[in-house]
Chains A and B, each alone.
Chain A
Amino acid sequence: MSGMFGRFTNIVKAKMHRAMSEAEDPAEMLDYSFEKQMEMLQKVRRGIAEVATSKARIQGQLARLMDQSGRLDGQARQALTLGREDLARTALARKQTIETQARALAAQVEDLEAQQNRLLDGEARLSAKIDAFRTHKEVMKAQYSAAQAQVRISETASGLSEEMGDVQLAMQRAQDKTEQMQARATALEELVGSAALPEIGPGSGDDIDRELARLSAGDDVERQLEAMKRALPGGPEAPKQLESGESSTHD
């Protein structure tokens, strides 16, 4: 097939060939040792385990982010009861950032789960093919002349190496994806932790908390100030208007 799929096939086979030539000496192909095949299988299994570990870590980070989001919601409420709409706004904005990104990450975790399952299937196929290859190799050596056996074993070896290449590529994809997600989750956690939000000024992670604590401790200077202003003659009711000023704009 000469269309897009044919082109894709050529690209993939070239990549597999490169991946395989790193893993083995082509001259050894015919007698690709059982140990080496098992090494490859072990590598795949370790890769699968690493992906699972990373996934669990990302899920943990996600859970912490959702906790944070709940906390920010509480902070916003508290800020509102204290009459600090600006602080509430900041908390809600931060909460929204976290939730948007956490949701995107959660969707990616689901994708990763699907990839993980495909990896497990791939590992099972590879394992079955390695067993089959060992058997075929011996049978062919016994049944055919050396030259014929060489050709047939070569064919089956390329079937085996195709599966190895496929599993390796799938593993690479899963690992790359995991790394990207890990980086995003960590960046998000750092964002939440350092909270470089301009409305708050030079604060650290607990800037909203500190502000709220200050307010709830009855240290609300502004509120006291406001109360004092009200108590003064010529208070907030008519602080600037002059009764005897210019005439009104009414005609």
Chain B
Amino acid sequence: MIVRIQGSGQYRLDDAAQSELASIDARLVAALERGAADEAHTLLGQAVSLVQTHGAALPDDALSPSDLILPPADASLDEISIPLHPAPTQAPSSQ
């Protein structure tokens, strides 16, 4: 699978790294559902560094389209248009 990290180019990921990425993605979905912005950021950073360390960078002149695109690790949740979903049944937290 070819993964692009926005602003950092493309990487080819093997199966093992792909399933690791999928697991981070699942945790990211859960974190966003809980409204845990900090955790979501940490997971995004983990995903980006997983791709950069375990993926093989494609040469500059490669012309393959990407299967998956990740935002840069320093993107804000707002910038990457991922809405936070705090659990609706949660009681208002104490101050």
> A residues within 8 Å of B by Cβ?
1, 3-9, 11-13, 111, 114-115, 118-119, 121-122, 124-125, 127-129, 131-133, 136, 155-160, 162, 166, 169-170, 173
CB atoms of B65 and A5 under 8 A apart: no
Pair count A-B, CB < 8 A:
88
Q: How far is the CA of A129 from the CA of B28 in the complex (A)?
A: 33
B49 within 8 A of A: no
CB atoms of B4 and A162 under 8 A apart: yes
CB atoms of A8 and B70 under 8 A apart: yes
Q: Mostly helix, strand, loop or mixed at chain A's interface? A: helix
Q: Give the size range of B's interface with the partner.
A: 20 to 34
Residues of B within 8 A of A111 (CB): 74
Q: How far is the CA of A133 from the CA of B62 in the complex (A)?
A: 9
Residues of B within 8 A of A131 (CB): 61
Residues of B within 8 A of A169 (CB): 6
Query: Pick the contact of A124 from B4, B60, B64, B70 — CB < 8 Å?
Result: B60
Residues of B within 8 A of A158 (CB): 65
CB atoms of A170 and B64 under 8 A apart: no
Chain B 2-19 per-residue mask, 1 if CB under 8 angstroms from chain A, else 0: 001011110000000000
B39 within 8 A of A: no
